[in-house]
C-alpha cells in the first residue's frame, strides 16, 4: 500500500469501499441490490457497539436501521439517513472505472461519490467520533441506510416506514442528502441548507396505432403520436412559481449578492448563482423532462404501440394543475398514466435544528452564510414525513469554487474531494454531539 493510501482518512476509506459494491438501481424493479453494502454498514454499526436491524423488502433489497441511545433521553430522536443504491453508470463515458473507488487528484471518484456514499461514510465516522468523544450523542439517533431511493424508495424507505414504524419511535426530525454543501455566490462562499423538496410525478405516455409495412402511407402511427406528445411536454417552459421556501431562498441569495429581490426578480437572481444555478433555477419552475422512449423492433416495420416516460417535478400543491396541463399537451391520442407520485415538502426555515446545523457549519467555516433552499429533486425524507418527521438536507461539504457540484449528481466522472469528506465528518460529529 502506498503512503498516500495508508494515510487515507477513514471516511474516504468507507466511501471507497461502498463505491466498490455495485448497487446500481436501474428502476422499474431492476437492480443489482444493496445486500453487500448493507452487510458492510451493518458490520460497521456493530463495531460501534450498536445492534442494527436489517429489513429486506425483496431478496437483496436491504435496508439497515440502528438506534443510538442519546445522553438526553427527554429530547426527541433525530433520524440520520442515507441510501445505499446508486443510479447506473456507463463505463464507456467515464475516465475511470465507476465502481473502482479510484483515488485521484485528491478526490474519490466513482458512482455514489456525491449521491450518496459520501454521506453514508460520514454518518459512520461522525458517529464513531461522537461515541469516542463523549460516549453518546446528545439525543437518540436513528441511523438508517435505505435501499431503492433512486427508484422512489418503494422497496427501501417507504417499505421500512410502512412495515417497521416502531424503528422511528420518538423521532421528529431527520437529516439526509442534497444540502449543506458550499456554493460561491458573487465571490462569497455560502452553504445551501435544504429545507424543502419538490413533489414528484412520474408519468408513462402510451399510444397505439396501426402496425404496418414501413413503406406504407400511415398517419395512425404510434411512434409519431408519442413523439409529438414528448416534444410538446419536453419543451414546455413552465413559469416561475414561488413558495414560502423559494421566497426565503431568493431573499437570502439576494442579500448575499447585495441586490434587491423585488427589482432583480427570481430568475435573474437564480442565474447569478454560478454553478449552483442548475439547482436554484430548477426550484423556481416546474420541470417536465422526457427520459425514456420505447417503440419498434425493425426499421421497415411500423409498430402498433409506443411509450415514453416523463419525469415531472413541481412545487408541493401544484400536482393537479400540472397533471391537467400535461394531459392537455399529450393530446387525445396519447394516454397518460401516473407511474409514481410523491409529495413535496416544505419545512420551517428556522428553528432549533436549523440553528444547530448553521452553527456547526460556521464553526468550521466562520462567517459563511447558510441559506435555505428548495431541492428540485426528492429524497427519502418524503417517506419519513408520513411518520410526521420533518426532514432536511444536510451533507456538510466545503467544496472548491471550481467544482460544478450539481453536475456531478447522476453525472459522468462523479467525484468528491477528500477534504470535503473530512470536513463533513467534523461538522456532522459536532452536530450529533450537541444537538
Ligand atoms: Zn441520492
pLDDT in tens, 274-320: 888 888 999 999 999 999 999 999 999 999 999 999 999 999 999 99
**Which pLDDT value is given to residue 25?**
98
Co-location of 334 and 210 in the same domain? yes
- On the question of a cis peptide bond just before residue 391, with omega within 30 degrees of 0, the verdict is no
- Dist. CA 86 → ligand 1 center (Å): 7
Co-location of 335 and 393 in the same domain? no
Co-location of 13 and 154 in the same domain? yes
Residue 312 lies in a domain: yes
Q: What is the mean pLDDT of the segment spanning 94-113?
A: 97
- Dist. CA 7 → ligand 1 center (Å): 28
DSSP H or E segment with residue 2: none
* Domain-ending residue, one of 342, 370, 400: 342
Co-location of 232 and 96 in the same domain? no
Lowest-confidence range among 116-120, 210-214, 407-411? Answer: 407-411
pLDDT in tens, 233-270: 999 999 999 999 999 999 999 999 999 988 999 999 99
What are the start-end ranges of the H helices in 177-260?
222-234, 244-257
Determine phi and psi for 246, rounding to 5 degrees: -75, -30
Cβ pair 284, 242 in contact under 8 A = yes
Percent of the chain with pLDDT over 90: 91
Total domain count for the chain?
Answer: 2
DSSP state of 304: S
- Dist. CA 178 → ligand 1 center (Å): 7
Provide the mean pLDDT of the chain: 95
Residue 192 lies in a domain: no
Q: What is the mean pLDDT of the segment spanning 82-92?
A: 97
DSSP state of 285: B
Residue 429's region, left for phi above 0, alpha for psi from -120 to 50, else beta, is alpha
Residue 351: all three cell numbers together:
428553528
Co-location of 172 and 257 in the same domain? no
- Dist. CA 427 → ligand 1 center (Å): 20
Residue 421: all three cell numbers together:
469528506
- Dist. CA 72 → ligand 1 center (Å): 31
Number of separate helices (H) and strands (E) present in the chain: 15, 21
* Domain-ending residue, one of 313, 342, 371: 342
Say how far apart CA 69 and CA 166 lie, in whole Å.
15
**Which pLDDT value is given to residue 380?**
96
- Dist. CA 83 → ligand 1 center (Å): 7
DSSP H or E segment with residue 83: strand 77-83
The closest alpha carbon to 248, from 384, 427, 373, belongs to: 373
pLDDT band at 409 (very low <50, low <70, confident <90, very high): confident
Co-location of 170 and 203 in the same domain? no
pLDDT band at 6 (very low <50, low <70, confident <90, very high): low
Distances (CA, A) of 414 to 35, 87, 113, 425: 23, 11, 6, 20
Residue 353 lies in a domain: no
Co-location of 253 and 337 in the same domain? yes
Residue 8 lies in a domain: yes
The CA dihedral of 235, 316, 259, 263, to the nearest 10 degrees, is 70
- Dist. CA 415 → ligand 1 center (Å): 14
pLDDT in tens, 378-403: 999 999 999 999 999 999 999 998 88
Q: Is residue 363's pLDDT more than 90?
A: yes
Q: Which residue has the higher pLDDT, 234 or 3?
A: 234
Q: What is the mean pLDDT of the segment spanning 188-192?
A: 94
Q: Which domain holds residue 260?
A: 198-342
Distances (CA, A) of 360 to 211, 267, 424, 435: 63, 31, 10, 10
- Dist. CA 142 → ligand 1 center (Å): 19
Residues lying with their CB under 5 A of ligand 1, a single-atom ion: 115-116, 177
pLDDT band at 5 (very low <50, low <70, confident <90, very high): low
Residue 349 lies in a domain: no
The closest alpha carbon to 382, from 151, 197, 156, belongs to: 197
What are the start-end ranges of the H helices in 82-183?
117-134, 157-163
pLDDT band at 1 (very low <50, low <70, confident <90, very high): very low
Say how far apart CA 278 and CA 51 lie, in whole Å.
41
Residue 223 lies in a domain: yes
Q: Is residue 405's pLDDT more than 90?
A: no
Say how far apart CA 263 and CA 255 lie, in whole Å.
13
**Which pLDDT value is given to residue 3?**
46
Amino acid at each position: 500500500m502506498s503512503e498516500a493510501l495508508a494515510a487515507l482518512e477513514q471516511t474516504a476509506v468507507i466511501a471507497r469501499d461502498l463505491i466498490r459494491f455495485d448497487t446500481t438501481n436501474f428502476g422499474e424493479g431492476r437492480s443489482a441490490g444493496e445486500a453487500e453494502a448493507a452487510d458492510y454498514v451493518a458490520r460497521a454499526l456493530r463495531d460501534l457497539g450498536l445492534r442494527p436491524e436489517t429489513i429486506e423488502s425483496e431478496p437483496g433489497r436491504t435496508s439497515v436501521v440502528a438506534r443510538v441511545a442519546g445522553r438526553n433521553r427527554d429530547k426527541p430522536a433525530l433520524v440520520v439517513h442515507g441510501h445505499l443504491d446508486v443510479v447506473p453508470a456507463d463505463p464507456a463515458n467515464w475516465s475511470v472505472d465507476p465502481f473502482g473507488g479510484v483515488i485521484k487528484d485528491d478526490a474519490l471518484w466513482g458512482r455514489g461519490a456525491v449521491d450518496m456514499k459520501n454521506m453514508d461514510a460520514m454518518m459512520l465516522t461522525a458517529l464513531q467520533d461522537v461515541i469516542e468523544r463523549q460516549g453518546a450523542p446528545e439525543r437518540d439517533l436513528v441511523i438508517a441506510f435505505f435501499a431503492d431511493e433512486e427508484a422512489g424508495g418503494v422497496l427501501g424507505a417507504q417499505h421500512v416506514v410502512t412495515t417497521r414504524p416502531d424503528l422511528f419511535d420518538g423521532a421528529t426530525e431527520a437529516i439526509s442528502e442534497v444540502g449543506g454543501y458550499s456554493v460561491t455566490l458573487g465571490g462569497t462562499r455560502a452553504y445551501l441548507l435544504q429545507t424543502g423538496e419538490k413533489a414528484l410525478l412520474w408519468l408513462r405516455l402510451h399510444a397505439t396505432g396501426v402496425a404496418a409495412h414501413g413503406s406504407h402511407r400511415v398517419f395512425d402511427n404510434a411512434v409519431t403520436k408519442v413523439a409529438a406528445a414528448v416534444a410538446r411536454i419536453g419543451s414546455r417552459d413552465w413559469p416561475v412559481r414561488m413558495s414560502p421556501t423559494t421566497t426565503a431562498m431568493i431573499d437570502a441569495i439576494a442579500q448575499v449578492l447585495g441586490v434587491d429581490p423585488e427589482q432583480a426578480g427570481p430568475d435573474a437572481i437564480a442565474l447569478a448563482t454560478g454553478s449552483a444555478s442548475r439547482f436554484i433555477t430548477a426550484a423556481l419552475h416546474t420541470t417536465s423532462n422526457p427520459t425514456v422512449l420505447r417503440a419498434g423492433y425493425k426499421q421497415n416495420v411500423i409498430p402498433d404501440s409506443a411509450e415514453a416516460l416523463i419525469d415531472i417535478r413541481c412545487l408541493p400543491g401544484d400536482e393537479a394543475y400540472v397533471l391537467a396541463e400535461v394531459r392537455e399537451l399529450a393530446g387525445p391520442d396519447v394516454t397518460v398514466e401516473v407511474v409514481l407520485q410523491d409529495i413535496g415538502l416544505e419545512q420551517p426555515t428556522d428553528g432549533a435544528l436549523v440553528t444547530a446545523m448553521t452553527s456547526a457549519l460556521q464553526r468550521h467555516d466562520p462567517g459563511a452564510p447558510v441559506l435555505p433552499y428548495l431541492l428540485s429533486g426528492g429524497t427519502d425524507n418524503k417517506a419519513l414525513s408520513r411518520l410526521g418527521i420533518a426532514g432536511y438536507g444536510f451533507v456538510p461539504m466545503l467544496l472548491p469554487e471550481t467544482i460544478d457540484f450539481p453536475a456531478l449528481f447522476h453525472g459522468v466522472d462523479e467525484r468528491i474531494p477528500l477534504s470535503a469528506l473530512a470536513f463533513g465528518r467534523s461538522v456532522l460529529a459536532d452536530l450529533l454531539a450537541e444537538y
